[in-house]
Every structure is written in structure tokens, then in C-alpha cells.
Structure 1
């Protein structure tokens, strides 16, 4: 009797080892083909229902999922780099070509009025180049998570007035009426002062380029955020695709020969606001372009 039980156990063990070896070969073959197949969403599986092996396969499938995510992220970053290089090449070439042309004109004229005008244009193009390179530098640091964030308590309305009023002469020159709210509830927010200044500077530049005659600033409170809103009317020649305003290299001017902007301002601003745990949205209200920034407020105990 015991001999038959022993024989049965030996046969069962042999069958178990046979199926186990078969599944391990299958698993080995599946692992070898992962790099080629993972992008198609394939997963490892077993016919042999052994708990230890099933746990191993589950762990391997989790690794595949992480690999696919990292692979997708790497490809996305590669596409972003290609797009950034293409945009950078175009946007830097345009003002550089302008500078080169006006330098040639400057060298061929003795008319002092023309020379002064050419120098003004060259100076504007140089400022545009400096703004573009600053934006590209900031964007590169944001995309690679090298941009440090130092969160602190900030008076939002005070900082808005400080930044916007520093552009007072430009608003006057462009005949843009800048309106602040008559009554301000001075809510404190949690943000990085330097990053927020950069966001507001980009918004001001956007208004100066595309506003027709006025810009209106307002504030709201909700349970979690202070909402900063700025509305400006739109120049007749500007056509806004609202779904694209936060897209890399998008500009409101239909022609990409526009030398004043790289189309990075709002894209970068949204990235910076999100790094400060906020949100940035855009919408159209008739002929008004509306930007809303949600910034975390200090919660009173």
C-alpha cells in the first residue's frame, strides 16, 4: 500500500516538475521578447496555476507597466526636444535676421533720423532675443525638474500691482487702459515670489502684444484658492484658438513671422503655476481674452 502511495507521489512530483519547467521556459521566452513587444501592451501569462509563479508573473507585469510608462515618457520628451529645437531655431533666426538687416542699413546711411530708427529696431530685437533665451532657459529647467520652488506667504494683490505698474510706461505707450479693482481683499497665498513675478511678467507681455485698448484685473476667493483674473480685449488682427493658448510655440498672430514673441510665455507660465500647486485657465468671453490663475491660499486655523 505504501509503495503505491510513494509511486503516486513520485509521479505527481515528476509531472509538477515537468509543467513547472515548461512554464519557466515559456516565461523565459516571454521575458526575452519584452523589449520588442512591450510598446504594444503585451503581458506575461501562465497556464500553470502555481501561486509562487503567478506572484512572480504579477511582479514582472508591474515592471512591464513601469517600463512602458518610462518608455512613453522618454519618447514624449524626445518629441518635445525636437519641437523645442525646431521652434528655437525659427524664433532665434527671425530677430537675428532682422538685426543683421538693420545693421547693414545702418552702415549704408548717413541720415541721422534713419540711423536712430534703425538702432531702436535693433535694440527691440535684442530685447526680444534676451526674453526668448530667458524663457527657453526657464523652460528647460522646468521640464527637467531643476527649477527650485521656495514657497512662502505672499500678498497677491501687492505683487500684482508691483509687477503690472512697473510696465506703466509701456501700457501708456500702447494706449492700453489698465484697471485695478476698487476694493481688494488682501488674501495671502502660498507661492514662490520669483516664479510668480515671472508669470505676471509673461502675462503683461501678452497683454502688451495682443490687447486692443484695455485690461481689467480682479480677484476672487474660494475655499482653497485665491483666483487672479485678467481680461483684455483683442486686437482685430489677432485670432485666438483658445484650445491652443497653452501649447508650446503658439502665438495669437496668424503669421509665424512675428518677431516679437516665441509663443513660450503662457506655456511656461502654466508650467510655473502648476509647480506652485496652482492652476491656470484661459477662455473667451466675446471679444475678451480671459486668463484665470488659481493660487493656493493660506488656510486660517
Structure 2
């Protein structure tokens, strides 16, 4: 209502200027103040119009952004039509300034020029208000999209984390159940297996024929293999559960390698493989558990004996890294196609030799990986065509008294 009064009063003043005889300066001074008032009224009126118009047509409703743009273009066309109408009205008033004469007046034309100037000025004011309003609405629209997108991403992330957490809990429970099962089965098998071994030893003392002795030797070897696998399963389950106490002591990696080569000398000689040792001259002393590290190195050596191509070289290398870690690398040439990943081969019971033409229970590298982690180290594999490289990294470590 107030805006309508302002427009009506200003229009009345302009019409009065057309009829009255004021000097040019007076006309422009009055016109200046009239336009100031009109500018305020146009600004408020256009803002009110835009708010009500787009609220009515649902700028943020289901019509979406495309419908909003279409309505905005319609407002622009309406503004141009209103401009044309006011220009036409101003031109008509210019022609009939003196209604008594009915012809173009030769008097002061300042009021007519003021009328045209007022129309253009108020048009620019309306366009400025529209542009400012449009930018604000677009900014709000973009922020709303970003907020919705951020909310959706946060909800999706929260859902993904929840699923991941539940999956990890299920995997953890499954691993625990599996480890418990392995531990219980291993424990339950040890007692009857010990009895079998005892009876086999008694049979060996009896007078048996050659055929019976051969059968007895085969049974003994199979029982020893089964006993070794059960012990490996039990030890692996124990270490995987974290229920293990390490006996920390100082030892040299180079000396340990020498000890293993001495212990496995007969197997190495019979293998037909040529082992080459590249042991560094630097100090390879570390603080770790001798039993677990010995088992790691022993398994890696046995792996080369089982899966290396006949007559090839096996390289055993030690060094100290820039991070002051002791590194052991064992490289061999495989006797089969290695079409597997590291993640697959270190799984329990996994074997790279799918044809199972060699002996093995699939626990060797799983034990290596699990034991290495228990010792605070890392185990990695590099496969390049038929080249198989096992890499063990162990920290130097310190005895509890040295900490």
C-alpha cells in the first residue's frame, strides 16, 4: 500500500511539471528528488513482486531449476513490455503537452526530457534489483545443492563405515572361530597322533620282512608330515590370535643364515640347486625371538627347495636399509607358472603350484607372513615372470633393559 502511494504521488508531481511552467533548473531539481523517492519505491516494489511471484510459482518446489529459469525469463520479458509501455506513454505526453493547443508546444521541454529520463532510470533500477535478487537466489540454490550433496555424501559415508565396521566384526568373529577350531582340532589330534608314533616305534623294533619295513617307513614319514602340519597349524593359530610371548635376544641375521645352511646341508646337496649367498659386511644384529625368526628363514629356504626349477640358482642376500632395518632377500626361479597374487599365496593352505606336483601343505608362507608381523617386521613378495623374490624386513629393536 505504501509503495502504491509513493508511485501515485511521484506520478502526480511529474504530470504537474508537464502542465506547470518551471525553469529548467527547478524541473531537474524537483525531478532529482522525485527519482530518489521513486528509486526507493521501485526497489521495494520489485523485491516484493519477485518474492511473491516466485513463491507463487514455486521457485524451490518440484518444478526444479529449469522451471525457475523459465519463470525468470518471463519476468524479464514483462519488464521490457512495461518499459515499452511507459516510453510510449511518455512520448504521447510529449506530443500533447498542451492539451488546449493539440499541437507540439514550443515552450520548455525539460519536463518531457525528465519524464523520459525517469522511465529509463527506473528501468535500470528495476533491472539492478532483479540482477541482485537473481544472484542471491542462485547463490542460495547452489549452497542448497552443496549442502544436500554434502549431507548425502556424509550419509553415504556413514552407511559405508557402518557396513565396513559390521563386515570387519563379522570377519573378526569368523577368524576367531576359525582359529579356535584349528587350535582345538590340533590339540585333539596331538594325543592320538602321539600314540600312533609310539606304536610305530615299537613296530620298528620287531622282526619284520622287507615289504613290511617299507610300508612302515612310508607310514612313519606320513605321520611325521601330519605331526609337522598339526604343530604348524597350532603355532599359526596361536600367533594369529596375538596370544604369544616373544623371547627377545640379540642375534645376527648373517649367522642365522649360516646356521640354517648348515642344518639343511643334506637337503641342499640333494636338490641340484646352486645356492649363492650375498651376505653384507655390515652389522646385521637385531633383537628378536630366535625361534620365530629361525622358522621364518627355514620356511623360505624350504620353499625354494620345493618350488625351484632343477639346476637353477637361488640367491640369498642380506643388507641394511637406509631406515636401519635388516633385510633378507631370497630369489629363485620357479618350476611352474606363477599366475597368482601375493595376497593369495600368503593365505593359509594356499599353494602356488596348482597342480600340486610338489610336497607342501600351503602353510609355509602364511607362517612367514604371520610370524614376521608378530616380530614387528614386514614380509613382501615380488613376482617377475618365473622369478620369485621373498623380502623380509625386520627392525633392529632393543632389549627391554636398553629402553
Please indicate the TM-score interval, normalised by the length of the shorter structure: 0.5 to 0.7
Instruction: Tell me by how many angstroms 1:297 deviates.
Output: 2.4
**Aligned 8 A contact 2:253 2:285 in 1:** yes
Query: Can you give the 5+ residue segments of structure 2 that lack an aligned partner in the other structure?
Result: 1-156, 201-207, 399-403
Q: Which residue number corresponds to residue 134 of structure 1?
A: 231
Instruction: Tell me by how many angstroms 1:153 deviates.
Output: 2.4
Distance 1:187 1:260 in 2: 33
Match runs of 1:252-271 below 5 Å: 252-255=352-355, 260-271=359-370
1:241 equivalent to 2:340? Answer: yes
SS at match of 2:272: coil
2:351 to 248, 251, 257: 251
- Cα 1:229–1:83 shift into 2, 3 Å: same
Match runs of 1:276-291 below 5 Å: 276-291=375-390
**Aligned 8 A contact 2:306 2:358 in 1:** no
Larger radius of gyration: 2
Aligned length: 219
2:391 to 278, 292, 298: 292
- CA deviation digits over 1:134-188, x for unaligned, max 9? 1111111112211112333220110111123201111112222222126543321
1:76 equivalent to 2:171? Answer: yes
Instruction: Tell me by how many angstroms 1:129 deviates.
Output: 0.8
- CA deviation digits over 1:197-244, x for unaligned, max 9? 1111211221221112432101122133111000111114x5451332
Q: Which residue number corresponds to residue 219 of structure 1?
A: 318
Distance 1:276 1:125 in 2: 31
Q: Which residue number corresponds to residue 268 of structure 2?
A: 171
Distance 2:213 2:352 in 1: 30
Choose between structure 1 and 2: higher strand proportion.
Answer: 1
TM-score by length of 2: 0.47
TM-score by length of 1: 0.62
**Aligned 8 A contact 1:281 1:292 in 2:** yes
1:155 equivalent to 2:252? Answer: yes
- Cα 1:180–1:140 shift into 2, 3 Å: same
- CA deviation digits over 1:113-144, x for unaligned, max 9? x5454334323322221221111111111122
**Aligned 8 A contact 2:279 2:316 in 1:** no
Q: Which residue number corresponds to residue 26 of structure 1?
A: none
1:144 to 234, 241, 250: 241
Instruction: Tell me by how many angstroms 1:77 deviates.
Output: 3.4
Distance 1:281 1:223 in 2: 18
1:180 equivalent to 2:288? Answer: no
- Cα 1:130–1:204 shift into 2, 3 Å: farther
Distance 1:279 1:142 in 2: 15
**Aligned 8 A contact 1:220 1:226 in 2:** yes
Choose between structure 1 and 2: higher helix proportion.
Answer: 2
Q: Which residue number corresponds to residue 231 of structure 1?
A: 331
Higher relative contact order (CA 8 A, sep 6+): 1
